[in-house]
Chains A and B, each alone.
Chain A
Amino acid sequence: MHSLLAVVIPYWGQSLLRVLGGLVAVLLPAGTIVYVFLFKMMSFMQSRLGPMEAGPYGSMQLFAEVGKWLQKEDIQPDNADKRIFRMAPIIVLMSTFLLVAVVPFGPDAWFTNFETGVFYALAVSSISVLGILMAGWSSANKYSLLGGLRAAGQLIAYELPMVLAVMGVVIQAGTMNLQQIVLAQNAGSIFGTDIVGNPYVLTQFVGFVVFMIAVQAELTQAPFDMPIAESELVSGYMTEYSGFRFLIFFIGEFATAGVFAMIASTLFLGGWGVPFSWFGWTSMDSVANWMNVAGPLIVFTKMMVLVFLIMWIRFSYPRFREDQLQRFAWKVLIPISLANIMVTAVLKVAF
């Protein structure tokens, strides 16, 4: 990658190309699949058919809706802080773009592979808070303001359990590199049995549950969707957005759900890998080359499972109140994840 197109590219240029590659190769399919899957699944849960007209079984619905949104007028309120108002959706989307850069898709199929991948993922995921707060503040709308402030409070509160839940994985794998975490899971063993490797969803189950709850809150999906809260705040920070900017928020929401599900599947479900014992692999170098093709499909499958989980909860539960949400984060999730870290650390030393 140092001399792509036979031209020497500086480091930032390489990173930019990789992230753009990630956008095209991962985010668009992820957003599309998640969106269509979500619409059909939601419909079947609610005993209706969902989109049926656009394409076979409504599979082209997303394109129809993108077309619709692009035609709409781009309205900006008179009193809005125009520059910030225009920037906010981009910043929310940027957080998603940056997040996808660290997800590994195969032994050699990755965009970036660096030592502090977990740290980076958690750091860039909170950029979206900034965008949401900007959207809420600049819209010059009381509902948006309430929604933006709720979002800020909520996302900051749930950042902590998310980080703490991942700590267990980091302790167990002994690395912050996502590729190494995948390796540690698939080449690992539970009490000497390596038939399924060591996916951390089994050994770090508490961490997985806390992580998924935090993801739910981070994505502002029900039961943690107070920032959007259609029945109270009428879409909260998105109230004043229309046309293309709303589209970015809307698709960004689904794409982020997909990317978070990818990160969770990398951390807890073994990522792109299959248990190495099935094919007699022992290390990263011995993994067959076809895994570079199969890996992305495996990640997508696992992503769909987790997205299903996220959406299932979303469609089943009513939403919390803001104070209940904070209480739940600080009094339940954080103590549980701290205890999880302690137990993991003790067991890590013991075994």
Chain B
Amino acid sequence: MTILNDPVSAKLGDRAQLSYIASQAADARLNVELETEGMTLNIGPQHPATHGTLRIIARLDGEQVLWAEPSCGYMHRGYEKLTEVRSFPQVTSLINRIDWLGSFANEVPFILAAEKLMGVEAPPRAQWIRTILFELSRIANVSLFLGDLGVQLGAITPVFMAFRDREYVLNLIESATGGRFHPNFDRIGGLKDDLPAGWIDETKVVMKKLRNFCDEIEALLFGNEIFQSRTRGIGVIPRDVAMQYGLSGANLRASGVDWDLRRDQDSPMAWNKVDFKVWTHPDGDSFARCWVRLQETREATKIVDQLLDGIPAGPVMAKVPKIIKVPEGEAWVSTENPLGEMGYYVVSRGDSGPFRVKIRSASFNNISITPWLLRGVYVPDIITILASLYFILGDIDR
């Protein structure tokens, strides 16, 4: 099998992985001898494992997948087209809904692209608060992933813990921005408002809670032997393949690629002011992807803590004209969103709205690897792999 001959996964020498692949090969041989008839199974568009309306067409031989093909577009809302009939400030309320679990993070790259075209830079305080809210939406997003991971694998308790603790983060986002899920708080040139009084202390308490949550999840799920046997060696993405398929975010870092836009690119955000570690994992399997996300949640709480300590004073809004007209030009800005690299290519013709916006969302590229990845796995592993790749349907279909 291709996975077996691959130098990266062979070098791992993970016995469980090799024996799994060998057993799969043996099963495949057996089935060829029996000449059984296959079965086409439609997973989705309405299926609990797809978090929405992703459809996966899987050709099965018994419980084994011969080939699988994701079919998306069931929830296509045409955001790229819709942006063309809206003015720049109006676009943020649309693009909030792309990755609906980490909404604030969606606004940032678009606003940065508009600012880049206009030659405006947000004042330092706005940059810091943006970064804090960005990381909070990352925590809210990924903590739900950590709980949902349990549900996908059959453990129903972690998701309630995740919802419980995500609630604290959502409360913070709500008290700062006024919106729980869709803040719509970012403005060209800064932010709508300053932080409310007492917000900083409260956030620090919540960050401690979230670190406890990470410890709980680590003890309850990641230390569990059944969880490990379900995820280790399942859905291995070698480094080269991950890069060829254009994966980004934790999926890429779990394959051993040390790439994080927060650290690697120069952006008018406060990430370069704080000290954080970019976690990678050499295995590239489902466990690695989940583990990297767990560590990133921890790291994000630390980033928020550090940022809270050093928020500079000053205004939260730069001087921008009342009616925003973005000068002619093209700009590409991408950031490291909770799901991976998210970018906007904004083309302006000097109007109040964009002429064309190309949205590069992380999940669309991340699920493009599924046909390669799902070949030869068992039906339960489809769910493991989909859960560990972690996509949001809005982020695939836009």
Please tell me which one of the listed residues A225, A226, A231 contacts residue B48 in the complex, with CB atoms under 8 A apart. Answer: A231
Would you call B227 and A318 a contact (CB within 8 A)?
yes
CB pair B379 A317 closer than 8 Å: no
Q: Are B380 and A321 in touch, CB under 8 angstroms?
A: yes
Measured CB to CB, the closest approach of chain A to B194, in angstroms, equals: 34
What residue of chain A has the Cβ atom nearest to residue B234's Cβ? A321
The closest CB in chain B to the CB of A48 belongs to: B160
CA separation between A327 and B226, bound complex, in Å? 13
15 A-B interface contacts by CB (under 8 A): A45-B157, A46-B156, A142-B41, A222-B155, A223-B226, A231-B153, A316-B220, A319-B155, A319-B226, A319-B230, A319-B380, A320-B226, A321-B380, A323-B23, A323-B378
Helix, strand, loop or mixed for chain B's interface?
helix
A233–B230 Cα distance when bound, in Å, is 17
CB-based nearest A residue for B149: A318
Nearest-Cβ distance from residue A4 to partner chain B, whole angstroms: 46
Instruction: Please determine whether A317 and B224 come into contact, CB atoms closer than 8 angstroms.
Output: yes
- CB within 8 A of A315: which of B156, B164, B224, B379? B156
- Knowing A322-B380, A324-B229, say if A317 contacts B160 (CB, 8 Å): no
Q: Are A223 and B161 in contact (CB under 8 A)?
A: no
Let me know if B160 and A46 touch, CB within 8 A.
yes
Q: How far is the CB of B67 from chain A (nearest CB, A)?
A: 16
A173 / chain B contacts, CB cutoff of 8 Å:
none
Q: Are A318 and B155 in contact (CB under 8 A)?
A: yes
Contact with B along A205-231 (1 / 0, CB 8 A): 000000000000000001101100111
Decide: B221 and A318 in contact? CB cutoff 8 A.
yes
Cβ contacts under 8 Å, A232 to chain B: 49, 379-380, 382-383
Determine whether B150 belongs to the interface, using a CB cutoff of 8 Å to chain A: yes
What's the Cα separation between A48 and B227 when bound, in Å? 24
Is the pair B229, A315 in contact by a Cβ cutoff of 8 Å?
no
- Inter-chain CA distance A234–B42, complex, in Å, is 12
Could you say which residues of chain A place their CB within 8 Å of the CB of B382?
232
Are A315 and B157 closer than 8 Å at their CB atoms?
A: yes
The distance from the CB of A273 to the nearest CB of chain B, in whole angstroms, is 35
Per-residue CB proximity of B351-386 to A under 8 Å, as 1/0?
000000000000000000000000000111111000
B208 proximal to A (CB < 8 A)? no
On chain B, the residues within 8 Å of A324 by CB distance are 229-230
- Roughly how many angstroms separate A232 CA and B378 CA in the complex, as a whole number? 11
A328 to chain B, nearest CB (A): 10
Interface membership of A146, Cβ < 8 A: yes
Given A232-B49, A324-B229 in contact, is the A317-B23 Cβ separation under 8 Å? no
CB pair A223 B154 closer than 8 Å? yes
- Given A231-B383, A323-B378, also A225-B154 (CB < 8 A): yes
Which residues from chain B sit less than 8 Å from chain A, CB to CB? 23, 39, 41, 47-49, 63, 150-157, 160-161, 164, 220-221, 224, 226-227, 229-230, 378-383
Contact in complex: A229, B39 (CB < 8 Å): no
Q: Which residues from A are CB-within-8-Å of B23? A: 323
Q: Would you call A322 and B41 a contact (CB within 8 A)?
A: no
User: If the complex has contacts A317-B224, A318-B224, are A222 and B154 also in contact, measured as CB distance less than 8 A?
Assistant: yes
> CA–CA, A318 to B150, complex, Å?
7
Contact indicator A142/B39 (Cβ below 8 Å) = yes
| Residue pair A316, B380 in contact (C-beta under 8 Å) | no
Query: Residue of B at shortest CB range from A320?
Result: B226
Task: Determine how close the nearest CB of chain B comes to the CB of A251; give it in whole angstroms.
Answer: 20
A161 CB → nearest B CB, Å? 18
Interface string of A39-57 (1 = CB under 8 A from B): 0000001111000000000
Rounded to whole angstroms, the CA-CA distance of A324 and B226 in the bound complex is 9
Contact B154 A229 (CB under 8 A): yes
Partner of A320, one of B156, B157, B229: B229
In the complex, the answer to whether A322 meets B160 with C-beta atoms within 8 Å is no
User: What are the residues of chain B within 8 A of A318 when measuring CB–CB?
Assistant: 150, 153-155, 221, 224, 226-227, 230
Assembly CA distance A142 to B224 (angstroms): 31
A230–B383 alpha-carbon span in the complex (Å)? 11
Q: Which of A232, A315, A322, A323 has the most CB of B within 10 A?
A: A232
Q: Which residues of B contact A315 (CB under 8 A)?
A: 155-157
4 further contact pairs, Cβ within 8 A, besides A46-B160, A48-B160, A146-B379 = A142-B41, A316-B157, A318-B155, A318-B226
Instruction: Please name the residue on chain A nearest to B227 by beta carbon.
Output: A318
Which residues of chain A are within 8 angstroms of B153 by Cβ–Cβ distance? 231, 318-319
A267-324: which residues lie under 8 A (CB-CB) from chain B? 315-324
Q: A46-B161, A323-B378 are in contact. Are A234 and B154 (CB under 8 A)?
A: no
Closest-CB distance, A44 to chain B (whole angstroms):
11
Q: Which of A47, A222, A233, A317 has the most CB of B within 10 A?
A: A317
Residues of A contacting B379 with CB < 8 Å?
146, 232-233
Chain A residue at minimal CB-CB distance from B20: A323
CB neighbours of A316 from chain B (8 A):
155, 157, 220
State how many angstroms separate the Cβ of A146 from the closest Cβ of chain B.
Answer: 7
Cβ-defined contact, B157 with A230, below 8 A: no
Distance between Cα atoms of A234 and B44 in the complex (Å): 11
A287 CA to B150 CA in the complex, in Å? 50
Distance between Cα atoms of A46 and B382 in the complex (Å):
27
* Bound-complex Cα distance A192 to B39 (A): 63
Query: Are B151 and A231 within 8 A (Cβ)?
Result: yes
- Complex formed: what's the CA distance from A320 to B227 in Å? 8
Give the distance in Å from the alpha carbon of A315 to the alpha carbon of B48 in the complex.
19
Least Cβ distance of B210 to chain A in Å?
15
B225 to chain A, nearest CB (A): 9
| Interface residue from B161, B229, B381 paired with A47 (Cβ < 8 Å) | B161
